[in-house]
Structure 1
């Protein structure tokens, strides 16, 4: 049974008559057709007693037909009023629609206003977001294989980063070399904007790489991910570029490494996300750096780099077999230093299995 059919059955059980899905990632997950529509309307509509309707730019129509089965299509040209066209197409289904669902975690106010205008008798009361999250939560063996392949190119990217380091090179130049070399290896795109952050700039967990020059005997935080056939990777290594490591640098790195490895080794089916977060957080707190671990331990991963669930304090969601998520503890001392170590894992009866296998060494030469 396809994932799309499973969703249709679930919504039928929930007595949902119409469902509007607009997140391109979700549409790709359900149909196998991936597109970035930019400002154009791209929407999957599940209608009663008929094939799902894919509303898409006309320029994507032929590719969508080749990539999918079991859909009906509503292509639109830039010169057309797509909302009026949609209103006409949906007219046969409106009289049957009592309960209508949208993705509340994605739909914009502008889209909702358009839908309300063309479908004035419809109330969008049901949220399909959590249902879709549950569908994406447990990965199939085929999905795990694709995530493993994405992990391989993330490892390669980290190796390229280490090879590129030299005195005085800018963070942006390292990023440019990583992505150039990956393109030569037929890696289509990164899963998010690559981060290469040196020393004090790494103290911002989601800092902005720029023209900061990398100097000898500094930490360089490399956070990156790649896409492989629609599936993402995500990893972080903090490399020491130099040969004169201070005692404080070594101490902070080893605390983060202990937190990462302990959480990794203790992750198991049946524990809660909050319990896993606490394992790493308690270690960092024990050494007096708890106030400098300023984010959750991890997030889900799949077709996008951040998916449900959040591995965070207060989240009592129970971890299940074949769930995929990151473990990424860090210590960030403002204006001074930042260290993070991250891998993504899939959960098995024997524990957490990693998608990435780069070293955990302090010495950047060990990554080459």
Structure 2
């Protein structure tokens, strides 16, 4: 039986044949990993997974310095190393060996430079976007994918617990952030999934603020937003605490966000739209009087990228399906006071219901 990567390659090749494309070129390192099991960041170097649809051949063009690692990839017919002195587009043209009229590409990934070089190689070619097909495959996670995500979540929740244990008034945001990111490595993460967010007091009202030298003080919100990659897949969790005793205003804000989070999760059901999930959370927060302070979408897809399809907002009428993985993360942000966000990673099981993969407590915790 073919392994998962060979199955994905064959499925992609069948799609390209149906679309009557001559050749297709995948250049996103993440999509190449999804299809082959090989990942590297080529930086400015050329890397592409090329499908010769007419011949039924799949070739990985890879920087020479990564050739040995790429040899472990599966599902391809061969490897072509590209040295720093080579002309990669000439090598690609010679490998194809003929004129082509339709070339499949990921249009969001393609630069003007790449388009011009490809036009020089294949003067009459028309570019056809194939990224939507790759995205549609990545939308549905396998049981194996979810097991890896669970490991990434297990790591990040241990990291979070460690970071929380280090919180005392007077320590800086960056000092706690350093503890968090060191612990990620200690616990076996490949790397952070994104730049760790640790914000205190009024700074927590910045949804994507950056930690700094500000000292954590009693009576303030403290927001952690962090995630890690493990074996290519990532986790993403946000929890907000109060340092010391919470005020009534802080309790009210927190409860509105928590109930919005719970109502969003309750609305998850295969066959319904993502817009319904956003509206369920948002309408509660509005009813609690904080609607104007909920200033972003409810969530986003999660997997090989920390932000991928679907985008969970009130206008998205995409139908939920078993196998989809995404975050639910309502937030309330009041300038000068602080912000709260509660984020869970949610998977739709075969029964069509929500499985909340994150387990870290989300009731209001006073540190």
Question: TM tier, shorter chain?
Answer: over 0.9
Shift of 1:364: 4.8
Q: Equivalents in 1 of 2:18, 2:352: separation in Å?
A: 35
Shift of 1:299: 0.7
Q: 105, 108, 116: which is aligned to 2:108?
A: 105
1:162 touches 1:364 (CA, 8 Å); kept in 2? no
Match of residue 123 from structure 2: 120
Q: Equivalents in 1 of 2:198, 2:205: separation in Å?
A: 12
Match of residue 35 from structure 1: 40
Any idea what SS the aligned residue of 2:44 has? Answer: coil
Alignment of 1:21-100 (within 5 A): 21-48=26-53, 49-90=55-96, 92=97, 94-95=98-99, 97-100=100-103
Q: Deviations over 1:306-335 (max 9, x none)?
A: 111111111100000111111000001123
Between 180-189 and 278-287, the greater mean CA deviation after superposition = 180-189
1:161 touches 1:222 (CA, 8 Å); kept in 2? no
1:166 touches 1:214 (CA, 8 Å); kept in 2? yes
- Unaligned stretches of 5+ in structure 1? none
Q: Equivalents in 2 of 1:293, 1:310: separation in Å?
A: 16
Between 229-238 and 179-188, the greater mean CA deviation after superposition = 179-188
Match of residue 236 from structure 1: 238
Q: Deviations over 1:83-121 (max 9, x none)?
A: 22222222x2x33x3322110122222222222222222
Q: Equivalents in 2 of 1:364, 1:186: separation in Å?
A: 29
Match of residue 271 from structure 1: 272
Match of residue 223 from structure 1: 225
2:273 touches 2:318 (CA, 8 Å); kept in 1? yes
Q: Equivalents in 1 of 2:56, 2:353: separation in Å?
A: 43
1:184 maps onto 2:186 in alignment: yes
1:76 touches 1:82 (CA, 8 Å); kept in 2? yes
Q: Deviations over 1:203-222 (max 9, x none)?
A: 11111211122112211110
Q: Equivalents in 1 of 2:64, 2:301: separation in Å?
A: 33
Query: TM-score, normalization: structure 1?
Result: 0.94
- Unaligned stretches of 5+ in structure 2? none
Q: Equivalents in 1 of 2:162, 2:43: separation in Å?
A: 31
Q: Equivalents in 1 of 2:171, 2:165: separation in Å?
A: 12
Match of residue 164 from structure 1: 166
Between 75-84 and 144-153, the greater mean CA deviation after superposition = 75-84
Q: Equivalents in 2 of 1:60, 1:108: separation in Å?
A: 23
2:190 touches 2:231 (CA, 8 Å); kept in 1? no
Over the residues paired in the alignment, what is the CA RMSD in angstroms?
A: 1.4
Shift of 1:169: 1.5
Any idea what SS the aligned residue of 2:71 has? Answer: helix
Any idea what SS the aligned residue of 2:360 has? Answer: coil
Query: TM-score, normalization: structure 2?
Result: 0.95
Match of residue 194 from structure 1: 196
Select the structure with the greater relative contact order (CA < 8 A; seq sep ≥ 6): 1
Number of aligned residue pairs: 360
Q: Equivalents in 1 of 2:9, 2:366: separation in Å?
A: 45
